[in-house]
Amino acid sequence: MRMQFWREAVEDIYCDNPPHQPVATELWRAVKRHNLTKMWFMKIIDEREKNLDDRAYRNIQELETYAENTQSALLYLTLETLGVRDIHADHAASHIGKAQGIVTCLRATPYHSARQKVFLPMDICMLHGVSQDDFIRGKQEKNVRDVIYDIASQAHIHLEHARSFSKKVPVKAYPAFFCTVALDDYLYNIRKVDFNIFHPSLQKKSTLLPLHLYIRSWKKTY
């Protein structure tokens, strides 16, 4: 029902008839002000609807597809609000969105495992002989950490790909990509604890994130 409401709301917004709902009203104003692309909203809604069944991703590609249609789509919309319509920025956004989706999946693993749910890609788990039950029990053996290493490495690869476009991406697109600060921070911290996804330090807030964000902004990098 909720997804259907937002699907209809987006349709109405683009017909200049937004529903009387605060978020929808603000969304309509943003669409009018920045000429936002309807397709990205619909991709987000469609992808979220597909994932309402709460099942594990069959493979890393399925996780990346989910991330592309949600996280990357949000970045495409953010670029449009910044007045950036550039193919190189879009390529960077695609990879950053995928990295963000992968990291989000990793970060949420302890939370979900405590609730008897595991969403990590099954192909990588099977490759290392790890079951969902291993995560639910909070095991920290090497093969469990190898699963996390492989998944985290994929996020790192996407960030490196995104940065390979940095010289071609317009500088005014950079604010859309500052989420990489948090992604880098998490990947650095999980590497420090040898990819033990359940290490308590990974659940703590990083007090240096604002400083790192300021430095990244000052250097005009992402």
SS3 content of the chain, % helix, strand, coil (to 5): 70, 0, 30
pTM as predicted:
0.94
Inside any domain, residue 82: yes
Inside any domain, residue 18: no
Inside any domain, residue 195: yes
Q: How far is residue 124's CA from residue 133's CA, in Å, rounded to a whole number?
A: 15
Inside any domain, residue 22: no
Closest CA to 155 of 93, 106, 217: 106
Return the pLDDT at 70: 97
Query: Quick one: what percent of the chain has pLDDT higher than 90?
Result: 92
Q: Which domain holds residue 153?
A: 54-219
Domains in the chain, number: 1
Helices (H) and strands (E) in the chain, counts: 12, 0
Return the pLDDT at 135: 97
Inside any domain, residue 172: yes
Return the pLDDT at 171: 94
Inside any domain, residue 19: no
Q: In sequence order, which residues have a C-beta less than 8 Å from that of residue 154 and are 6 or more positions away? A: 60, 64, 102
Tokens linked to 92: 């960077």
Flag whether pLDDT at 173 surpasses 90: yes
Inside any domain, residue 49: no
CATH number of domain containing 203: 1.10.600.10
Give the model confidence (pLDDT) of 113-157 as tens digits: 999 999 999 999 999 999 999 999 999 999 999 999 999 999 999
Q: How far is residue 86's CA from residue 136's CA, in Å, rounded to a whole number?
A: 43
Give the model confidence (pLDDT) of 180-195 as tens digits: 999 999 999 999 999 9
Inside any domain, residue 15: no
